[in-house]
Structure 1
């Protein structure tokens, strides 16, 4: 894990050959949907392991069959709350939960409009109340302009005052990180790699394309909002 000195509280995993190997496969245009999703799960699981190094644990005394000794037990890991930004964050969240298995989960559906405005439409949000001891992880694979995450985190903060607010993703553009840190300086950011820049359409370069389409296929251009309300 490497702290990027350009910002406070921003970390990447560029020092991990294993994650760089997975990222290389994700970037390749030859990687098909099923493999892409499986790679996201692997990334989430590994990043979850690494993230636990930043958490507080409790010291406990136990008895082995031979003598007394000291160990640790879950502390912060018992109080994790993952917010999943639909739809591509689902497999990344699946990987995180393999390590952070006590997590509660909230769902946010948000879409970014076209350049140059990149207006954000948030059509659905379902989150439980947050507690002061919670570590809230917003799971969104691509931090491009930062617009979606700015709106998401702002809405989430209306639901409580957690101990930590963390963003975990695959790739980030410097522009998106700067926008987030300017508006939300207390938010921590952990990504596999920080890429070079955004293009004029708001895509990360070199990037990996539209992560949602690559994981699940191109969606139909219809609104699911009425159906989602009917399922409440």
Structure 2
């Protein structure tokens, strides 16, 4: 885990050859949907393991069949709420749940509009009650402009105040991190890698394209036929 000195509370995993190998596969335009989704699951699981190193655990005393010894109980790991930003965060959430198997899960449907306004449409939220013991992990693979995550975090505040708010992503642009940390300095950010910049359309460069389309296929734009009055 690598702490980026440009911001407080921002970490990447650029020091992990294994994760860089997975990221390289995700970036390649030759990678098909199934392999792309499996890569997101792998990253979620590994990043979940790394997050446990930042959590509080409870020291306990147990008895083995031979003698007493010290051990640890889950502590914070048993008080995790994973927020999934639809649709591409589903495989990332799946990986996180392999580490945080007792986690509660919330769903947010949010989509970003086109440049230059990048307006956010948040059409659906289903969030469990948030307690002061919870570590809230928001899974959203691409931190581009940061506008989706800013609106998501502000919406989530209506449901309670967690112990920690963590954003887990695959790639981030410096512009997105700047926007989030400016308004929400307490939010922690963990990503596989921080890329160079955004282009004019709000895509991360070098990036990996539209992560939702890469994971699930490009959606068809089908318009319903016009209905005419029948005489």
1:49 matched to 2:36? The reply is no
- Which 4+ runs in 1 deviate beyond 4 A? none
Partner of 1:228: none
Q: Name the SS for the 1:138 alignment partner.
A: strand
Q: How big is each residue's C-alpha offset from its partner over 1:133-168, in whole Å with a ceiling of 9 and x where there is no partner? A: 000000000000000000000000111011000000
What residue ranges of structure 1 are gaps of 5+ in the alignment?
Answer: 224-232
Report the Cα offset of residue 220 of structure 1. 3.3
Partner of 1:94: 94
1:82 matched to 2:95? The reply is no
| Cα separation, partners in 2 of 1:64 and 1:148, compared to 1, 3 Å | same
User: Pairwise mapping of residues 105-124 of structure 1 onto structure 2 (< 5 A)?
Assistant: 105-124=105-124
Report the Cα offset of residue 222 of structure 1. 6.5
How far, CA to CA, are the matches of 1:196 and 1:222 in structure 2?
Answer: 35
1:11 matched to 2:24? The reply is no
1:158 matched to 2:158? The reply is yes
How far, CA to CA, are the matches of 1:155 and 1:222 in structure 2?
Answer: 31
Partner of 1:135: 135
Superposition CA RMSD, Å: 1.0
Report the Cα offset of residue 53 of structure 1. 0.2
What residue ranges of structure 2 are gaps of 5+ in the alignment?
Answer: 224-231
Q: Name the SS for the 1:35 alignment partner.
A: helix
Bigger radius of gyration among the two: 2
Partner of 1:104: 104
1:144 matched to 2:144? The reply is yes
Q: Name the SS for the 2:53 alignment partner.
A: helix
TM-score by length of 1: 0.95
Report the Cα offset of residue 32 of structure 1. 0.3
Report the Cα offset of residue 52 of structure 1. 0.3
Report the Cα offset of residue 221 of structure 1. 3.6
Report the Cα offset of residue 17 of structure 1. 0.4
Partner of 1:32: 32
